[in-house]
Structure 1
Amino acid sequence: MTTVMTPAAAGAAPPSTAPAPSWRHNRWLRFGVRRAARLVLSLWVLVTAAFLMIHLVPGDPVRAALGMTASPDVVAARRAELGLDDSLWRQYAHFLGGLCTGDLGSSTISGLPVTRTIADRLPATAQLACLAFLLALAVAVPLGTATAALTRSGRRRGAELAFTSVSGLLAAVPEFLLAVVLAYVFAVRLGWFPVAGRQGPGSYVLPVLALSAGPAAVLARICRVEVLSVLSRDYVRTARAKRLPPRRVYLRHALPNAVTATLTLGGLLLSALVAGTVLVENVFAWPGLGSTIVQSILQKDYPLVQGIVLVYGAGVLAVNLLVDVALAVLDPRSAIGEV
């Protein structure tokens, strides 16, 4: 009888049939690659739109900035200095090259580098937006959770009506109008806070309140709805049946599962807060990017407008990316499992 020697019997290792590892099988890596690709595409669209903005404006931006009394030689020299006499593609290539080296051009009014002006004004706007966002979260999450706990199962109809009425009113009032009212009441009439400018901690109070009131009201309403939904689920009923302390039920079981939608909306509201600084800064004469871009538009200083638009757009994209990453960390099954 002939004995057939198998590779295993001969001491040879059997060939492996396991598939080779690939980045396509790594959900986190796929998530990172796709988010990075979306970010790059969004940045390219933003940069291209900001570049075309100066070319879509009717008339000659240099003539508009220098005034109608400027001589043709001065206008021509300024156009040559800004590179506006070159072809559109050459200007676009020069614009992209300047972005890579941190050169956004020079102001047509002051002649100062755009990056220098932005660097001087950006901290004031960033502080205002971040403080308003933190205050909105600090007020909205506890208030929404407490209201949900008080009004669950149809209890305390009066408290529910008061909460929805006040939060709906605050959410509907524009930041600009609220800023005017706060400035008139607490700065002009009562004199509790500075009317304008950035002078000490007291000057932050009214702008931050004007920016955060609406987002805090919206976040509180969303947080209440999410907490009510979580409180009706089986695992919360089980926790209550085990006679766990209410604080543990809310902080460990209800709030972490309700924070996902609140965080998503919070990121979107942070983007809106960045845009809302434009109007609020002009009410309080805040020395930030918001007041600067309005002045630049009125003076037709388009290179400076371009630079500030890029900063605002990049800030919004960065906030959206951070929200995506935070949601992926908090709930990997829904955020990563679908990519």
Structure 2
Amino acid sequence: MTTATVEAPTSTPAAGTPGRRSNRWLVFAGRRAVRLVGSLWVLVTAAFLMIHLIPGDPVRAALGMTATLELVQARRTELGLDNPLWQQYLDFLKGLFTGELGTSTISSLPVSEVVGERLPATLELAGLAFLVALAVAIPLGTVMAALTRGGRRRGGELAFTSVSVLLAAVPEFLLSVLLAYVFGVQFGWFPVAGREGPASYVLPVLALSIGPAAILARIGRVEMLSVLGADYVRTARSKRLPSRLVYMRHALPNALTATLTLGGLLLSALVAGTVLVENVFAWPGLGSTIVQSIQQKDYPVVQGIVLVYGAGVLVINLLVDVLLAVLDPRSTIKEG
């Protein structure tokens, strides 16, 4: 008698298994990396062409009309502007990989040195403003959701919505001027210029954080109201858990996904907003430097700062995508 042998079926990772999740994360990370590299290449190319598309001679504009032709030509040769465009582009890319962003046409200092001196001040300002916005928006949105849940306190909801919309609509430049005039000039509580001591941070940080905090508070309230109506929250309430535990353990972590995602996107706008705020408060960061360089026609410095701002925005957007994927792994399914 012959005995039939039955081969065991080959097992494949099912959806939700570690192997499947690992593959999904690899695809997600790969696509995000390709997108980042492509965006960086477009940014670098646009920044390089910026100088060459500007009408006139940037060296002549920087040295002034009284500079001799010999001086202008020597300066062009020193900066490599006499080389063919393709060679300048390759030299530019090579410099980026070695940390060289060019040379200032005004001070003759390396652009990387200029950026390195001013970047910490901008990062401090943007980072503090972002933390203040989150620290105000998340508790405020949560409290307003708890107070207005189920259609209660219509007056408070209307006041909160009106004030938050108004604050979010005020431009950073106008808000900076108002804060400087009221709290710096009229009351004299805080300095209105410079970066000397903790008090000098108050007004520029407020000018940058008020708008994002108002937007995030509104989004946080809406998300919290949605979460409070979910089945698992009603189940937690039916077990007579303390309200503090219901909000902190069950509601808040689930409501933070959209708030933090939007917060990361607002961080990009907040970094760009430092340009205006720094100029109002004479803050020694990249924002005031790029405006000064534009006025002086110091285009290599402008080019380097544009690269730093653009790369910062791209990296922030990448971090937002990763954070969203960590908080909500289902968002990577479409990527796979």
User: Are positions 1:322 and 2:319 aligned together?
Assistant: yes
User: Are positions 1:240 and 2:237 aligned together?
Assistant: yes
Map of 2:75 onto structure 1: 78
Aligned-pair CA distance for 1:240: 1.3
Map of 2:193 onto structure 1: 196
What is the rounded CA distance, in whole Å, between the counterparts of 2:51 and 2:197 in structure 1? 37
What is the rounded CA distance, in whole Å, between the counterparts of 1:35 and 1:22 in structure 2? 20
What is the rounded CA distance, in whole Å, between the counterparts of 1:147 and 1:85 in structure 2? 63
1:63 partner letter:
R
Aligned-pair CA distance for 1:17: 4.5
Map of 1:274 onto structure 2: 271
Q: Any idea what SS the aligned residue of 2:67 has?
A: coil
Map of 1:11 onto structure 2: none
Find the partner of 2:33 among 30, 36, 39.
Answer: 36
Q: CA RMSD in A?
A: 1.9
Is residue 51–residue 92 contact of structure 1 (8 Å, CA) maintained in 2? yes
Map of 2:95 onto structure 1: 98
User: Are positions 1:294 and 2:285 aligned together?
Assistant: no
What is the rounded CA distance, in whole Å, between the counterparts of 1:24 and 1:261 in structure 2? 22
2:333 partner letter:
G
Aligned-pair CA distance for 1:220: 0.2
Map of 1:111 onto structure 2: 108
Aligned-pair CA distance for 1:88: 1.1
Change (3 A) 1:102 1:72: same
State the 4+ residue runs in structure 1 displaced beyond 3 angstroms: 3-6, 14-25
Is residue 267–residue 319 contact of structure 1 (8 Å, CA) maintained in 2? yes
What is the rounded CA distance, in whole Å, between the counterparts of 2:8 and 2:73 in structure 1? 75
Q: Give per-residue Cα distances to partners, 1:278-320, cap 9 Å, x unaligned.
A: 0000000000000000000111101000100011011111111
The two structures have a TM-score, normalised by structure 1, of: 0.94
Aligned-pair CA distance for 1:251: 1.1
Q: After superposition, where does 1:68-217 map in structure 2 within 5 Å?
A: 68-217=65-214
Map of 1:338 onto structure 2: 334
Is residue 128–residue 208 contact of structure 1 (8 Å, CA) maintained in 2? yes
Q: Any idea what SS the aligned residue of 1:26 has?
A: helix
Change (3 A) 1:123 1:25: closer
The two structures have a TM-score, normalised by structure 2, of: 0.94
Find the partner of 2:225 among 221, 224, 228.
Answer: 228
Is residue 24–residue 30 contact of structure 1 (8 Å, CA) maintained in 2? no
Change (3 A) 1:16 1:70: farther
What is the rounded CA distance, in whole Å, between the counterparts of 1:210 and 1:220 in structure 2? 16
Contiguous gaps of at least 5 residues in structure 1? 9-13
Contiguous gaps of at least 5 residues in structure 2? none
What is the rounded CA distance, in whole Å, between the counterparts of 1:155 and 1:19 in structure 2? 52
Is residue 23–residue 29 contact of structure 1 (8 Å, CA) maintained in 2? no
Aligned-pair CA distance for 1:19: 6.7
